Amino acid sequence: MMTKKLLATTTALTLLMGTIAAFTSCTDKNGGDDSQTTSTATNDSTTTGTNDNKNNGKKVTLEVLTNRTDRDQDGTLDKLVEPFEQANNCEIKWTSYSDYSKDVPTRMSTDDYGDVLFIPDEVDVNDLGDFLVPLGTYDELKDKYNWVSKKMDSKKNVYGLAYGGNAMGILYNKKVWADAGITELPKTPEDFLADLKLIKEKTEAIPYYTEYADSSWTINQWCNLLVSASGNPGLENDLLTEKTDLFTPGNGYYDVMKLMYDVFSDPDLHEADPMTTEWESSKTWFGEGKIGTIVLGSWAISQFEEKAGDKAADVGYMPAPFTAADGKQYAQTDADFCVGVSKHSKDIDLSKKFVEWFVSESGFAFDEGMIPTPKGSEIPSNLDNFKDCVLFEKDVAPDDLIGKYAAIDTASEVGIWLGDTGNFKIQLAEAAFGNKGEEGFKAIIDEQNKKWADARDAELG
Amino acid sequence: MQEKRSFFEWLKTYDGQKFTTTILFLLIPLVLLVLFTFVPAFNMLIYSFQSRDLFKVKGWLGFDNYIRVFTDKEFLTTFKNSLYYLVGSFFQQGFALLVAAILCAEIRFKGFFKGVLFFPYLMNGVAVSIIFQRFFLKGNPPVSPEGTLNSIITAFGGESIKWLSDTERPWLVNICLVFVSIWRYIGFDIIMYMGAIQSISPDIYEAADLDGANPWQRFVYIIFPGIKPIISLQLILAVKGAISVFEIPYIITGGNFGTSTFVIKTIEMAFQKKKLGVASAMGIVLLIITIIVTVIQDYFFADKPVKKKKALPRASK
């Protein structure tokens, strides 16, 4: 009897508390919303001057979402932002996600996704305005920063600035290449192949490591070289306006794929069994000087240096071995994650200030071996080989062609950036491993040319 | 005295409560089933007639997607690869039946062998695939040593073989993958067959012994008819399995070197090439093939004794 009564009382109490909690949380929410609207109101009225005074009373904490778990955990980021915290009397709280592209879009379905965030690519550029505050227009920012167009909607509002950029090139082991007696980096595909042969003859190392077991993404690294090889920033647009074949000798697409085909065709130039390559271990082997060359974006440099330990100085990066018709070597650069400000930020102005400070003054990109975002910045030493190259960004598509390139790519099923099992790059690689020769190469690219042309004509009329 | 009761009064009776409880308990699984199986399947049927990506419909295609599934040479390779697994599964069934028959006889360490043979089935498919990746490895000097199989071959003075990437013998890699598949799933078959064999009454064996039946006759006239339903079940599973192979090739070769399967292609179509229409058509084709196989096995392995029983009362009239 006693226990029963007790039980009933406890249940009633719990229920009561639950209800109260629910009510208070509701009012809390309302209160929160109210204060937020007022704070934005003050923001709007005070943008012209006294903005900084507002922060004097209470320390503002800005939450910044990032994908760089490595630099968050080792404390680099916290240390990096100290000067900013002192100058603006605020606190920066980093939240890092290892599965960024999955966790952050989920979090973005609520109103709470930090004050500043690295913009996930899953958000369509034309939807950015629903989540983020514009940092300026394209015309305002384009003279000051690189890669401004990356997170720009069709009205030319820029929602994010890159924290740094990568150059497109080829990873090579300086010691292996020097041991083979190579003093000058290759400037043409023929030189490149000849150098790989030299490495085979004079050293024990594997001249080129295909990483083919992870081909679904490693084979795409060759595509990083497409625009660089052509030396034409408007290559993708020209393909649509001039309606040339996708693979035409001299247009980058053909030349890069031919180089890949030639490297893969010669069993002496790559590892014996491409099916059993190991990505993680290859970083160590590369540092040990057992691998000569791998085509990878410059994002990989720091990873390979880390695994190379005391031999980090051997990790080198060279531009794509193609010389354009004007006798110059070109290298495309592209932005890494862009940083934007949440629409629901506690302090939008301070957040904007932080974004600009982070991408320009923090020096984070330089320390990471990336090209810094402000125009005309010094290039980090790991990209020394690019000093004589012309660095350029891919052109923005003209208004009437925005999205067309991607649409044709999908409709034709060519999949320039895909690594599916029927993809042309996989077909080329396997034809090369099977030593199918020139005809094998031509048969595959002719088929792709036709698919592309059909889809292009359907799309553009 | 029978009083007229309202529906609500009836609900309060024992029968009524039994009725409500049944409905309530059935409601949850049925709602889940409809919501997560029938509705998506119906949607898939509609998608399969459309040209569409993950979000937008671009138009109606009629049967074009289906025609493509059976004419595109990319998909035809996957059907060819399924044949490897189908042929492999026949060997698998035969071998499993043999082992099961042996294990049902009086032998020592029966439990131990049963455990060893069933163990691969309990292992995670990813783990199995990674083990065999190492097993078939061809070393890449100077970076990596030979894999298990090649080490054994070279130890006996043979030449190491590119098991997974031999472009001159493109069938080799598929044979290797089929072998992995057999190794993984045979334990399950053995247990199924053993269960079926052991469920045959020992009296029948005794009678057969008295009549002087040899082991082969015992197998053909007692065991085989006794486990026929299990064999038919295994055959459907084999055909279904052959066409829906996924994880083993996906992890070991990534579907490269001509090892792509129907399911790998379906996933690529939907999520990489963004052709959800074609992918849905492939899903429907897979469903139809399974239905056809089930109907065929029903026809050949129909449970004849049941029909005889039905016929009996009529004869007695």
What domains are there in chain A, each with its CATH number? 58-162+337-384 (3.40.190.10), 167-334+396-460 (3.40.190.10)
The Cα A339–Cα A92 span in angstroms is 15
For A127, residues 6+ apart whose C-beta sits below 8 A from its C-beta are none
Q: Looking at the partner chain, which of B142, B256, B274 has a beta carbon nearest the beta carbon of A426?
A: B256
- Within B72-124, residue ranges assigned H as helices are 73-104, 110-122
- Report the pLDDT averaged over residues B171-194: 93
**Residue A15: predicted pLDDT:** 52
What residues in A contact B258, CB-CB < 8 Å?
Answer: 430
B94: DSSP letter: H
CB hemisphere CA count around B73 (13 angstroms): 2
In order, the DSSP letters of A54-94 are HHHHS-EEEEEEES-HHHHHTTHHHHHTHHHHHHHTEEEEE
Q: Could you tell me the residue ranges of all domains in chain B?
A: 7-47, 64-300
CB hemisphere CA count around A359 (13 angstroms): 31
Backbone angles phi, psi at A172, to 5 degrees: -140, 155
Q: How confident is the model at residue B2 (pLDDT cuts 50, 70, 90)?
A: low
Interchain proximity B165–A426, CB inside 8 Å:
no
- Report the pLDDT averaged over residues B262-271: 90
Does residue A134 have a cis bond before it (omega within 30 degrees)?
no
Helix, coil or strand: residue B117: helix
**Residue B224: predicted pLDDT:** 87
The owner of tokens 């492939």 is: B282
**Residue B298: predicted pLDDT:** 77
**Residue B315: predicted pLDDT:** 43
Nearest residue to B184 (alpha-carbon basis) of B125, B233, B243, B142: B125
The Cα A420–Cα A215 span in angstroms is 9
Helix, coil or strand: residue B169: coil
Answer positive or negative: Cα dihedral of B95, B101, B103, B106: negative
What residues in A contact B139, CB-CB < 8 Å?
Answer: 272-273
The structure tokens listed for A369 are: 């071996």
Q: Between A and B, how many CB-CB pairs are < 8 A? A: 87
Quick one: chain B helix, strand, coil %, rounded to 5?
75, 5, 25
Interchain proximity A271–B143, CB inside 8 Å:
yes
**Residue B266: predicted pLDDT:** 92
Helix, coil or strand: residue A18: helix
The Cα A141–Cα A128 span in angstroms is 17
The residue count of chain B comes to 317
**In this structure, how many other beta carbons lie within 10 angstroms of the beta carbon of residue A246?**
23
Query: CA-nearest residue of chain B to A265?
Result: B167
Nearest residue to A292 (alpha-carbon basis) of A384, A387, A185, A217: A185
Beta strand ranges found along A136-187 (DSSP E): 136-137, 157-158, 161-162, 165-167, 169-173
Interchain proximity A276–B140, CB inside 8 Å:
yes
Helix, coil or strand: residue B77: helix
Percent of chain B topping pLDDT 70: 94
The structure tokens listed for A404 are: 């067309």
Our measurement of the distance from residue B122's CA atom to the centroid of its chain's CA atoms, rounded to an integer in Å, reads 15
CATH of domain B64-300: 1.10.3720.10
Beta strand ranges found along A345-420 (DSSP E): 390-393
Each residue's pLDDT expressed in tens, for chain A with a length of 461 residues: 455 555 555 555 555 554 444 444 443 433 333 333 333 333 443 333 344 444 455 788 999 999 888 888 888 999 999 999 999 999 999 999 988 877 888 888 888 999 999 998 878 777 888 899 999 998 899 889 999 988 888 888 999 999 998 888 999 999 999 999 999 999 999 999 999 999 999 999 999 999 998 888 899 999 989 999 988 889 999 999 999 999 999 889 999 999 999 999 999 999 988 888 888 889 999 999 999 999 998 778 888 988 898 998 899 999 999 998 888 899 999 888 999 999 999 899 999 999 999 999 998 988 888 889 998 888 888 888 888 888 888 888 887 887 888 889 988 999 898 888 889 999 999 999 998 999 999 999 999 999 999 999 998 87
**Residue A461: predicted pLDDT:** 77
Whether the Cβ atoms of residue B241 and residue B121 lie closer than 8 Å to each other: no
Q: How confident is the model at residue B118 (pLDDT cuts 50, 70, 90)?
A: very high
The structure tokens listed for A313 are: 């100085």
For B272, residues 6+ apart whose C-beta sits below 8 A from its C-beta are A415, A418, A419, A420
Residue A267's alpha-carbon distances to A211, A300, B122, B206, in angstroms, are 15, 25, 40, 66
In order, the DSSP letters of A177-190 are HHHTT--S---SHH
Kindly report the average pLDDT of chain B as a whole number. 86
Interchain proximity B138–A291, CB inside 8 Å:
no
Query: CA-nearest residue of chain A to B164?
Result: A275
Whether the Cβ atoms of residue A62 and residue A347 lie closer than 8 Å to each other: yes
Backbone angles phi, psi at B59, to 5 degrees: 155, 170
A390: DSSP letter: E
Nearest residue to A270 (alpha-carbon basis) of A219, A212, A225: A212
Q: Pairing between strand A165-167 and A330-335?
A: antiparallel
Residue A304's alpha-carbon distances to A23, A206, A291, B288, in angstroms, are 55, 17, 12, 50
B109: DSSP letter: T
Helix, coil or strand: residue A419: coil
Interchain proximity A413–B268, CB inside 8 Å:
no
For chain B, counts of helices (H) and of strands (E): 17, 2
What residues in A contact B257, CB-CB < 8 Å?
Answer: 275, 430
Tell me the β-bridge partners of A344.
Answer: none
The structure tokens listed for B36 are: 């997560």
Our measurement of the distance from residue B277's CA atom to the centroid of its chain's CA atoms, rounded to an integer in Å, reads 25
pLDDT single digits (tens) B40-58 = 999 999 999 998 877 778 8
Query: CA-nearest residue of chain B to A433?
Result: B167
Tell whether B151 lies on the interface with A, counting CB pairs under 8 A.
Answer: no
Helix, coil or strand: residue A250: coil
Backbone torsion region of residue A232, taken as left when φ is above 0, otherwise alpha when ψ lies between -120 and 50, otherwise beta: beta
User: Which amino acid is residue B301, in one-letter code?
Assistant: F
Q: Which helix (H) or strand (E) holds A145?
A: none
Whether the Cβ atoms of residue A392 and residue A333 lie closer than 8 Å to each other: yes
Our measurement of the distance from residue B12's CA atom to the centroid of its chain's CA atoms, rounded to an integer in Å, reads 47
pLDDT single digits (tens) B68-78 = 999 988 888 89
Q: Looking at the partner chain, which of B165, B264, B274 has a beta carbon nearest the beta carbon of A421?
A: B264
